Amino acid sequence: MELQLDLERTDPKYAGFWIRFVAFVIDSVVFGIGLAVPFYFLFDNPLVGFDYSAPVDQQMLVLTAFVQQSVAKGGVYLAIYIFCWMKFLGTPGKLVLNTQIVDAKTFAPLSFGQSLIRYLGYFVSIFTCFLGFIWVGIDAKKRGFHDLMAGSVVIYKPDAR
């Protein structure tokens, strides 16, 4: 896959709320199905059949296992998203819809640091009652809180205009 960058570009077309929402839905299906099978075999669900009448120390072991598995799964998602953003300029949903995630000033690929901040910024966008995502519909450059934090924008590919 060839990355299409136009570093001299001064008139990008920013991707708005709805196209990004559709990309999110596509990513949820792709990653949900793609990771469901390996997660099924790698992780058992410690909360299935959780015994509330068990001694507290046994309950804590089960809850600890659940937290450890959640952190491991989150790490997999973190690695996949950062890899996709840095290597392909977007996740499958963004690529299918001819959009790309780039640095807001240079339109170059995101650095590792920007990608990490952008991913962590998702939690800020979520924990503000999703205002960080809604902000995409308000901001002139269609940036959510996570984009503002990382210095990124989502634009249409130059040839998609």
Segment 16-43 mean pLDDT? 91
pLDDT digits (tens, 9 = 90+) for 107-135: 999 999 999 999 999 999 999 999 999 99
pLDDT digits (tens, 9 = 90+) for 51-109: 778 888 888 888 888 888 889 889 999 999 999 999 999 999 999 999 999 999 999 99
pLDDT at 4: 54
- What CA–CA distance (Å, rounded) separates 18 from 24? 10
> pTM for this structure?
0.82
Segment 137-150 mean pLDDT? 97
pLDDT at 3: 56
Helix, strand, or coil (residue 111): coil
> What are the backbone dihedrals phi and psi of residue 94, each rounded to the nearest 5 degrees, phi first?
-65, -40
Structure tokens, 38: 């390996």
pLDDT band, very low/low/confident/very high, at 47 (cuts 50, 70, 90): low
pLDDT at 8: 53
pLDDT at 10: 60
- CB-based burial of residue 21 (10 Å sphere; 0-12 exposed, 13-18 middle, 19+ buried)? middle
Segment 37-58 mean pLDDT? 77
